[in-house]
Structures are given as C-alpha cells and as structure tokens.
Amino acid sequence: MKTRNILPLFLAACLLLSVFAPAFGSAEEETVTLRVCNWEEYIDLGDWDPEEETIDLESGDILGENSLVQDFEEWYHETFGVRVKVEYSTFGTNEDLYNMLTIGDVYDLVCPSEYMIMKLMSEDKVQPLSEDFFDPEKETNYYIKGVSPYIRNIFETHEINGVTWDRCAAGYMWGITGFVYNPEKVSEEDASTWKLLENRDYNRQITMKDNVRDAYFAAVGALKGEKLISEEFRDGENYTAELQDEMNDVSPETVNRVQDYLQGIKDNLYSFETDSGKADMITGKVVANYQWSGDAVYAMDQAEEDEYYLNFAVPQESTNIYFDGWIMLKSGIGEDQAKQQAAEAFINFLSRPDSVIRNMYYIGYTSAISGGEDGRIYEYLEWNYSAEDDEEEVVEYPVGYFFTGDPEDEDYVLTVPEEQIGRQLSAQYPSQNVIQRASIMVYFNEAQSELINRMWVRVRCFNILSVPVVVWIVLAVLIAAAVMVYFWQKREKEKMYR
Amino acid sequence: MRFSRKTLGIPYGVFLTLFVVAPLLVLFYYAFTNGQGQFTVKNLTDFFTDPNTMGTLVYSLAIALTTTALCLLIAYPVAYILATSRLKAKSVIIMIFVMPMWINFSLRITALKEILTAIEGNLAYYPFLNSVLGMTYDFLPFMILPIYNTIVKLDVSLNEAARDLGADGRRAFLRVTLPLSVPGIVSGISMVFLPAMTNYVVLDMLYNSTYIMGSLIGSYFSAYNWHGGSMIALVLLGFICLFTLLADGGEDENARTGGALL
C-alpha cells in the first residue's frame, strides 16, 4: 500500500523542484560558461605548502594557493566585471581528444599538440584568434606581450592551407625528446644518439614511448644518422629546412625501412611504455628511457628526492621539438563574442608570468612564454638553477635565443653549477646547440598517417607467418587426435548403454 | 498505477536497453559500414585476410588458453580439497582466495610486477610467461568460486555408492565427482577465457609489447578507424556466442548422461 503513495508524491516533488529551479538561477547575474579541455596533470591545481614551496623571487613571492582555474574566474570578474564559469575537463592523448570531438563532445578551448592543431586547422574546425588578442598595447594581453620570440617565430613561419599557426594557436608548453639515463650505467656518449635503442650493450634495459609518432621519428633519426651528423649536411645552406624534410620523410621505402628497424629493436628494448617509463627509471628497472623533456624533468626531480641522479641527453642526430597550444573550436565558440573574449582572456591569464611560473613549477614542462618586458620568468630560472656564490665549478649557459631571440644576448646568460649541464636545465631550456638541430614533426595527411599506423600495427602484432611449419603440423596432429579420442569415447559410451 | 512484479523488471530493462542493446546496435552499424557510411563487408574480410589480425588472434588464444589451463590446474584441486574437507573454517579459507578481488586490480598487478622482478631479475625476457602469470593471478578467484560451489553441493551419497560398488577412490573421483563438477568448470572457464583474450592492461603493465585483441582494437580506434575496430570487437563477440553455445551443449549432454556414468 505504501509504495503506491510514495511514488506520486516523489514525482510531484521532482516536478515542483524543476519548476522552481530556473527561478533560483535567475537571481544570479549573467555568467559565461567556458568549456576547457586540457591534458591530464597539465595545469597548477594549487594547494602548495607555504612553508616548503613558496618561490621567493626578489620581485615577490609566488605561491599556488588555489587552482589556476579558480584564480582565473576571480581575476576575470574583477577585471571585466563578468562572471565566468570554467568547465574543466581533461584528455589522455591527442587521438582521444579528436575522437571525443568526433562523437559530439563540445569544447570552447582545447590544448592539443602541434600536429593535432594542424589537423584541426586543416579541417576548418578552429576559430581564429581575434585582432584584439594581438594588440600589445592592451594591459591584459599577456600572451602577445610575453610569448618567447623563438616560439613566436616558429608559429609565424609554419602554415597549413595558407594560414600561419599563430593566427589560430597560442603556445602553452613546449619541449624536445631525448634520453633520460642513469649515468652510472650508461655513458653520455652512448646516450647521445638514437642508436642507443639498438645498442646490444643495454639489451632489454631501455624503454621508449608507446606512441607511433615518437617511435617513427626516432627510427628515422637512427636510420639516417650518418647523413644527419655529416658536416656536409650540417653546413648546408638550408640546413633547417632540409633537416625537417629528412625527419618527416614518409615515403613508402622509408616507412618499410622504419618497420624493419622497429621490428629489429623491439626485442632489444625492455618494452614500449605508456606511462611506466618515469617510475621505472626511478626504481632502476631500466637504465634509459626515450622521453619527452617535461616528463624527463619530472623523473629527474623525483629521483633527486631519493638522492639518486639521472641525466638527460639529446640525440646528436636531431631531436623532435613539440608544442602544445590553445585553440578555440568553432563548434564551441560559434558566434558567441562573450565566450570568445573569455577564452582569449583564459589564454592571457595562463600567460601572465606568475601563472607561468606556477605552472612550470607544478608540472615540470617549459612554458612557451618568456615574459617579454616582465623579468620574472628569467628570475625564476636564476632562482632555480643559478650556482651559489661559493660554488667553484660553474659554467655559463646562454638562453638568449629563448628570451630575446638573440643567442648571444649577454643579459641572458645563466651561471650554473657544472653538473646541471645534462640535467634538468638542459631538458627544460635546451642549449642553443640542441635547438639548432631540433626539427618539428609535421602533420601527415590521411594516406600518410594510414601508412604509418599500419606499419606500427605490423610492428606490434604477432606475425602469424613467422610460426614455423612444424608447429602447424604438430598442432594439426594434436587437434585431430583430440577429435578422434572424443568420438572414440562417445562410441564406447553408447556401447555401454546398449 | 498498479504495482506488479513486472514493475521490478523496469530498472533492469532500462539498463539493458541503454547499456547493452543500444551500444550493440552502434557496434553493428560501425562494423558493417565504411568511412562514408555505406554498407560493406570489407571489414569482415579484412579481419580474416590480414596476417596481423590473425596473428593477434592466435597470440591472444595462446595466452587465453594457457591462462585458463593454469587457472584450472590450480583452482580445481583447491576447490575440491576445500569443498570435501571437514574443516570448520572452510569459508574463511575460501575468503582468503577471494580476497584479492577486493583489492584494486592495477594495485595487484603492480605488486606482482615487483615480485616477478625480484624473482626473474629482468621482466623483459619473459613477456609471455609474465602475461600468463599476471592473468592467472588476476582471474584465479573466478575459477575457484564456481567449481567450489558446484562440488560443495554434490550429493555425497553418490560417491559413497560408487565406493560401495567397488570403485576405488581414484575411479570414484574420475567417474562420479569430476563429471558432476563439469558445470562449475564450464562456467569457470567462460569467466576466465574470454577476459584473458582482451585484457591488455595486464600486458601493458607487465611490459609485453605484443598486441592482443584488446590492444589491437585500441590501436584501430586511435587511428580513427572505428569501423575496423568495431568489426574486431564483433568477431570477438561471435566467438563468445559460439563458445557459450558449445558449453551449453556440453552441459546438457552431461545432465542427460552424467548420472548414468557409474
């Protein structure tokens, strides 16, 4: 009897609530909702320990109290008088993000890597940044005022379908690829080449990322190693452009050679890893790990806490320089001006030097922002890496290319302890030497991507043709025997019942 | 509104439609269409002509069969001894075997990784063995429980009758207990065999870089080939159906003849 009474009551309550809910909402002022999708663990979530973690720069302390997203919401309200609500979500890989967009998830602002930005741009899914965003006179335009000249140059000189990257994308983090290695087990010389992957001395002691693009790039670099390090090639007039062409070679012959190469090194590696590489370096299961520089910094930091030192080396052949950048999506922003303004303000807020420092400290990756006239980011670098006054073995480490675009700029030369070379600093801010041989990995069209993906599947799958004929014969005999035994038993049984 | 027994089925009906029937329809749609949304059976023919998918199928089968055999080998004696012993603390011991199920799966495999590293030194030399061990560790309770439950419910007098009629212990076990526990074995196998074909997380965590069916589907999806990936999933589903049908057939036959096997 009771159930009959409760159900209608419950339904009535629900109905009443749904009638009144909008009325409660309208008491609030107008809010802009901003749907942001970023990599996992790729933004400062705050909650730092004030005692231990305050970054005490001379220009003032920096401390992540609340998450950057929360700080943005407050800042936006104070600055523009409009409330904004950020719906923050994360993705695991660029391909996941693309699949999420395909099945109809809508975001206003996302942060994929350069090749995915190029793919989305080529599919006309990206909303260009407004003219206003590029106005350096405006107080709150932290991005355009602070973006590193080095990064800016790359974004302005690369285009897809006639549109340069910088019109659509704002750099967030960047880095290179290289080997984190245990200097007690691996020599620096061995670690400074992609040939480390095939080095029999470290048989089954090296991991690399389980990722077709990284594996492809490394294999191409190893295969073309001789040419890439030859002086003739290095001194060539169009070295940078030619290097990029060589490293992005996806001709069928090269894809085939890469397949053979990867199949060859598969048994020489410990494994391809999705996420265990950092931990395995720290616990000592492997002696080297081909890794993204941001994660390399993380691994080195973690190891240091246990009084255990890891180093970072960049292949002498070349290295993959990669970017993650913010882009606005047409499907989310549409014609909504208020939303676009909030999205661009979000990029600017994250590019404000104190936010940049908080992010770099928190996630270990290197920001694309150098700060422009605001000196705090360079100050943070000094705070982080500079040698103490009484230290004796120090070296000079110029980072002018990143801060002013002039590699020889004397104002941007760090004086660091010698041992820092080959550790976090050279992963976070690669030396001018490394930058010269860095190449981006472009976006391949569908046919090329298909070719590479198929190659990767072939590398990873068990090859049925590799099973010797003998095994097949033995198997066939066994199955035949099993079938015969089964029927024989069945007949025996039937005999018994008769 | 009249409250009848059928009303109780509504939640399940809703659940079934939303999370089983609807996704299945989507799966069928993708498996039999191409990128342009036209009907095609190319995905199906691709599956059976591509040496990679066939190789992966063989490799997955090898892992799954070995895992199942190993599980059965360990689980049956344990279940049998426990079910037939006069121990008062039986249920406690069974609980010890089932307890790992309460601990998060990835934690368990991480722990196993450390144990195996301590034993083997370098895990990379034994990827197949490690995968099988990981899966066995993971799925063992699913094999023990159904077998234990079947044996514990067997009528002891059947066994006693066999002994009275002159069968020795071994013969009584082979001719009475074992055939009668087949339903438990079958449901144990189906709980272990099929997950073992697709559970690629175990392989990932234990550093086996060769694809099995689950990781192959994943690789198709990250290359945006939802159609090929769906077809692989569908073929696997076909295998499950086939297996279940075979198992059911076997069980029926046993129900018919099992009792007369004395």
Pairing status of strand A206-209 against strand A177-181: unpaired
- d(C-alpha A430, C-alpha A174), whole Å: 11
Q: What is the mean pLDDT of residues A291-299?
A: 93
Helix (H) or strand (E) holding A342: helix A337-350
Please say if the pLDDT value at position A496 is more than 80.
Answer: no
Task: Indicate the domain borders of chain B.
Answer: 42-261
Instruction: Provide the b/e sequence for A50-71 (b: ≥16 CB within 10 Å).
Output: eeeeebebeeeebebeebbbeb
Interface predicted TM-score (ipTM): 0.85
Instruction: Kindly tell me if the per-residue pLDDT of A12 is higher than 70.
Output: no
Query: For residue A477, what are its two tokens?
Result: 């005999």
Which stretch of A249-253, B79-83, B231-235 has the lowest confidence by average pLDDT? B79-83
What pairs with residue A439 in β-bridges?
Answer: A320
pLDDT at B255 over 60: no
Q: What is the pLDDT of residue B250?
A: 61
- Nearest chain A Cα to B217, which residue? A457
Contacts of residues B224-229 at CB distance under 8 Å and 24 or more positions apart, as own/partner, are B224/A95, B224/A98, B224/A99, B224/A102, B225/A453, B226/B30, B227/B30, B227/B31, B227/B33, B227/B34, B227/B35, B227/B43, B228/B43, B228/B46, B228/B47, B229/B30
Q: Is B22 exposed, middle or buried (0-12, 13-18, 19+ CB in 10 A)?
A: exposed
Mean pLDDT of B103-111: 89
**What is the pLDDT averaged over residues A70-95?**
95
What is the rounded distance in angstroms from the CA atom of residue A458 to the CA atom of residue A477?
Answer: 29
- pLDDT above 70 (res A226): yes
Residue A23 has pLDDT above 50, yes or no: no
Q: What is the arithmetic mean of pLDDT over B197-225?
A: 90
Count, residues in chain B: 262
Q: What single-letter DSSP state applies at residue A111?
A: -
Instruction: Residue B111: list chain A partners with CB under 8 A.
Output: none
- The stretch A257-273 carries a mean pLDDT of 94
pLDDT score, position B251: 60
Which pLDDT belongs to residue B134? Answer: 94
Kindly list the residues of chain B whose beta carbon comes within 8 Å of any beta carbon in chain A. 1, 3, 51-56, 58-59, 117, 122-125, 127, 204-205, 207-211, 215-216, 219, 221-225, 257, 260
Please name the residue of chain B whose CA is at the shortest distance from the CA of residue A271. Answer: B207
Residue B5 tokens read as: 């027994």
A462: nearest Cα among B127, B8, B26: B127
Distance from CA of A121 to the nearest CA of B (A): 17
Chain A residue with CA closest to B206: the answer is A271
User: pLDDT tens across A29-63, in order?
Assistant: 689 999 999 999 999 999 999 988 899 998 889 99
Say which CATH superfamily domain B42-261 falls into. Answer: MetI-like (1.10.3720.10)
Query: Does residue A364 contact residue A297 with C-beta atoms inside 8 Å?
Result: yes
Higher pLDDT, residue A455 or B101: A455
d(CA A342, CA B26): 37
Q: If you measure CA to CA, which chain B residue comes closest to A95?
A: B222
Q: Give the Cβ contact number of residue B177 at 10 Å.
A: 19
pLDDT (0 to 100) of residue B253: 56
Q: Do A4 and B3 touch (CB under 8 A)?
A: yes
Is the Cβ of A164 closer than 8 Å to some Cβ of chain B?
Answer: no
What span, in angstroms and rounded, lies between the C-alpha atoms of B153 and B181?
A: 10
**To 5 degrees, how large is the angle CA B126–CA B132–CA B137?**
120
**Intra-chain end-to-end CA distance of chain A, in Å:** 61
Q: Among partner residues A3, A463, A497, which is closest to B3 by beta-carbon distance?
A: A3
CA dihedral A400, A405, A407, A412 (to 10 degrees): -20
What is the average per-residue pLDDT within B3-25? 89
Number of CB pairs < 8 Å for A and B? 85
Spell out which residues of chain A touch residue B50, defining contact as CB-CB under 8 Å: none
The amino acid present at B239, given as its one-letter code, is F
Element (H, E) at A303: helix A293-305
B209 → closest Cβ in A99, A266, A497: A266
Residues in chain A: 498
Mean pLDDT for A159-185 is: 94
The mean pLDDT of chain A is 90
A461 interfacial to chain B (CB closer than 8 Å): yes
What is the C-alpha separation between A162 and B149, in angstroms, rounded? Answer: 69
Looking at per-residue confidence, does A114 or B2 come out higher? A114
**Residue-wise pLDDT tens digits, B26-63:** 999 999 998 888 899 999 998 999 888 999 999 999 99
Enumerate residues 6+ apart whose C-beta is below 8 A from B159: B172, B176, B177
pLDDT at B64: 93
- DSSP single-letter state for residue A365: P
Mutation for testing the A interface, residue in B52, B116, B200 having most A CBs under 10 Å: B52
Write the DSSP string, A429-447.
Answer: S--HHHHHTEE------HH
pLDDT in tens, B114-160: 999 999 888 899 999 999 999 999 999 999 999 999 998 988 888 88
Read off the pLDDT of residues A122-157 as tens digits, 9 standing for 90 and up: 999 999 999 999 999 999 999 999 999 999 999 999
- Does B209 sit within 8 Å of A464, measured CB to CB? no
**Considering only residues 88 to 147 of chain A, which have any Cβ-Cβ distance to chain B shorter than 8 Å?**
93, 95-96, 98-99, 102
